[in-house]
Amino acid sequence: MMKEKFKVAVAQMVSGTDVPANLATAARLVREAAAEGARFVVLPEYFCLMGRQDGDKVAISETFGHGPMQSALAAMARESGVWLAAGTLPLTCPEPGKVFNTTLVYSPQGEVKARYDKIHLFGFTGNGERYCESDSILAGATPVKVDIGLAEVACGICYDLRFPELFRTLSPFDAMILPAAFTATTGEAHWEVLMRARAIENQCYVLASAQGGTHENGRKTHGQSMIIDPWGKILAQVDKGEGVAVAELDPELLHSVRSHLPALAHRVLN
């Protein structure tokens, strides 16, 4: 569990169709976060590619442990000396024409310390929009919590936000990460309230790193990357466009919230 104060950062992007350009942007934002003192940095979902069609991410998918995107991520962590939650990238899966949508967590030495494959797959139809992640993504099956040395961190990705039972299975933890690419429609209505709810009910910090703008493929994402404390207070955020939000996590605040309102200890149903 968390024993000392430390700074964290969430990086917001407006990723396009050029993978090398997206990787360069991610590396620049990681460097900016490290320069501001962040020791743990979270990139957004689909940071490496917001393609024009579903098959684009399948075409660039890598085998776990191999490939230029994973090499670039390891280098980002090493060069900036940070723990890095690498948003999501497409990794090969057993089902043809599909990928896993995966978060990898790298140590400051560039080693993978955790892998989480997105469990809940987004589907939405309305306002002239249609999204069906299961068309090109194979769902994961295993909840993941990782000890980054500084804190215990629960992993979630975007649509997972709407399923609080996922995080209850991992409780307690100091912080949760949520790389996302929330649509403008659903984000405007639900993003902030759901994020703050997850922080309050799990009495943890939330690090939500999002896509935020209009992409080359015409998709509009909500943005509002945030760092939220265990009382539900937003400590730092980025509204739209590229940027980095940095805040300090404090174990004393975490202990205070849990001791004054011991809701986690009062749980009856598991």
Question: pLDDT tens digits, residue range 194-211?
Answer: 999 999 999 999 999 999
Q: Give residue 45's domain range.
A: 6-260
Q: Angle 2-12-187 (CA atoms, 0-180°, nearest 5)?
A: 95
pLDDT band at residue 132 under the 50/70/90 scheme: confident
The count of other CB atoms within 10 Å of the CB of residue 77 is 25
The pLDDT value given to residue 128: 64
The pLDDT value given to residue 130: 67
The pLDDT value given to residue 129: 65
Please state the pTM of the whole predicted model.
0.96
The pLDDT value given to residue 126: 66
Does 45 participate in catalysis according to the annotation? Answer: yes
Q: Quick check: is 267 in a domain?
A: no
Q: How far from 103 is each of 128, 143, 193, CA to CA, in Å?
A: 30, 12, 23
18-51 pLDDT, tens digit per residue, is 999 999 999 999 999 999 999 999 999 999 999 9
Q: Quick check: is 249 in a domain?
A: yes
Q: How many domains does the structure of the chain reveal? A: 1
Q: Quick check: is 269 in a domain?
A: no
Active-site hit among 7, 57, 98, 118? 118
The pLDDT value given to residue 125: 73
The pLDDT value given to residue 270: 75
Q: Which residue has the higher pLDDT, 54 or 242?
A: 242
Active-site hit among 32, 45, 133, 152? 45
Q: Quick check: is 268 in a domain?
A: no
Q: Quick check: is 1 in a domain?
A: no
231-243 pLDDT, tens digit per residue, is 999 999 999 999 9
Work out the percent of the chain whose per-residue pLDDT is above 90.
Answer: 91
Q: Quick check: is 53 in a domain?
A: yes
Q: What is the CATH number of the domain that holds 37?
A: 3.60.110.10
DSSP 28: H
Between 122-126, 127-131, 151-155, the lowest mean confidence (pLDDT) is in: 127-131
Beta bridge partners of 217: none
Read off the tokens for 77.
């962590």
